[in-house]
Amino acid sequence: MQSVTILGATGSIGLSTLDVMSRHRSEYSLYAVTGNTNVDGMIALCQQHRPSIAVMANEQAAEKLQTAILKLGLDVSVRSGKKALIEVSSCNEVDIVMAAIVGGAGLMPTMAAAQSGKRICLANKEALVMSGELFLDAVRDNNAELLPVDSEHNAIFQSLPVEVQQGGALESAGVEKILLTGSGGPFLNTPISEFKDITPSMAVAHPNWSMGAKISVDSATMMNKGLEFVEARLLFNARFDQIEVVIHPQSIIHSMVSYSDGSVLAQMGQPDMRTPIAHSLAYPNRIKSGVEPLDFSKLADFSFCKPDFERFPNLRLALEASQKGQGATTVLNASNEVAVDAFLKGNIRFTDIATVNEYCLTELGSASPTTIDDILQLDCRAREYAIANICKGSTC
């Protein structure tokens, strides 16, 4: 029996993880679930899945949850705050941590899971993008296991030989290129002149995937693919020129690996995150995820093209940051979180997200953080720059 903590259990990945786990109750037990401030979501989840511990981000939310838990007579211990997040990610009772908090808020608990040698199923790409090699060092030094949940990285992982999955070099396995696929999001064919009028509800309506608001906007700007480029370089120890972004609007191929003999291996499936979640929980075994197999006779189109950097300046910025180094990716991640939040709140336009990001990257992108404290400070500074830039140029 494996004991699991789900960080970000009330979110899209968190709920999909609970769905997969509920199909395998004799193999996985639920130790702890965490959420931000969505008390109703957490109550429903506790009723259905009976974790031992539930953690909310602040005391107010935890008090509300505690009252409901008592009323319902559930045996769930309620906690709150950052320390509790770290505790449920690192304590001895836990074998697997599903890292599914969105954004930089997930870094410290995910780091704690690495430092205490857990299996980390990593959905929270921002944590890796902002901390890079420092996070990978913590994984290596403490014999933790890092399994990618992001569908592209999970697909790449599945298409690589075991030696590379275990940290071996791409070249010695005959890998020529990683082909990182992306749908291009909802605005792949929208005239660029209309981009300034894109509203939050238009941006979160992804054609293929159902996801949280932040990653949905990132998919619409293609910053998501940029963060994934950085993520892939780190996870697979790849040079810049060993990864190519390929647009594949149908999201059936989740990414590919091209080998020196001309073979290209792809992982395919429905656009449903329960597949990579099940893979990361059970690896090297396979378990049922609840996802229907593909029916190829029903697939009408299967198309590919190159990304357009004029249409998606955020993708260009992320690739530039990836070449510059850790400081640049930490800054870009932080600035993007602030800009996307401002866009979702109606404070800036869709097209301003790239403007804010470019400004922060130019101002702060040459920093070279070497410790986690440096990273956290730089992250804070970039957020302040982004907020100041937004306030200068708009309504707030």
Residues lying near Mg ion in the complex (CB under 5 A):
150-152
- Cα–Cα separations (whole angstroms), residue 97 to 1, 6, 123, 371: 14, 6, 10, 23
Instruction: Give the residue, chosen from 87, 150, 352, 379, that forms a contact with ligand NAD under the rule CB under 6 A.
Output: 150
Q: Say if residue 293 is preceded by a cis peptide, omega within 30 of 0.
A: no
Indicate the length of the chain as a whole number. 396
**8 counts as binding ligand NAD under rule CB under 6 A:** yes
**185 counts as binding ligand NAD under rule CB under 6 A:** no
Provide the minimum distance between the beta carbon of 15 and ligand NAD in the complex, in angstroms, as a whole number. 8
Near ligand NAD by CB under 6 A, which window of 5-13, 302-310, 337-345, 352-360? Answer: 5-13
**100 counts as binding ligand NAD under rule CB under 6 A:** yes
What is the chain's percent helix, strand, coil content, to nearest 5?
50, 15, 35
- Alpha helices per DSSP H over 100-222: 107-115, 125-131, 133-141, 151-159, 162-165, 200-203, 213-221
Tell me if 85 sits within 8 A of 55, measured CB to CB: yes
Provide the minimum distance between the beta carbon of 42 and Mg ion in the complex, in angstroms, as a whole number. 26
Half-sphere exposure of 381 (CA within 13 A, CB side): 17
Instruction: Give residues 320-379 in contact with ligand NAD (rule: CB under 6 A).
Output: none
Cα 110 from Cα 118, distance rounded (Å)? 10
Instruction: Give residues 213-242 in contact with ligand NAD (rule: CB under 6 A).
Output: 213-215
Partner from ligand NAD, Mg ion, none contacting 202, C-beta within 5 to 8 A by type: none
323: burial class by Cβ within 10 Å (0-12, 13-18, 19+)? Answer: exposed
Residue nearest to ligand NAD (CB): 11
- Cα–Cα separations (whole angstroms), residue 289 to 19, 111, 119, 240: 8, 27, 19, 34
**65 counts as binding ligand NAD under rule CB under 6 A:** no
**87 counts as binding ligand NAD under rule CB under 6 A:** no
Partner from ligand NAD, Mg ion, none contacting 269, C-beta within 5 to 8 A by type: none
**105 counts as binding ligand NAD under rule CB under 6 A:** yes
Count of positions on this chain that bind ligand NAD (CB under 6 A): 27
Instruction: Give the residue, chosen from 195, 209, 259, 309, that forms a contact with ligand NAD under the rule CB under 6 A.
Output: 209
Near ligand NAD by CB under 6 A, which window of 73-81, 98-106, 167-175, 251-259? Answer: 98-106
Comparing CA positions, the residue from 296, 75, 259, 71 lying closest to residue 161 is 259
Near ligand NAD by CB under 6 A, which window of 123-131, 156-164, 231-239, 378-386? Answer: 123-131
Residue 279 has φ and ψ, to the nearest 5°, of -60, -45
Binding residues for ligand NAD, rule: CB under 6 A, are 8-14, 35-36, 38, 57, 100-102, 105, 123-126, 150, 209, 211-215, 273
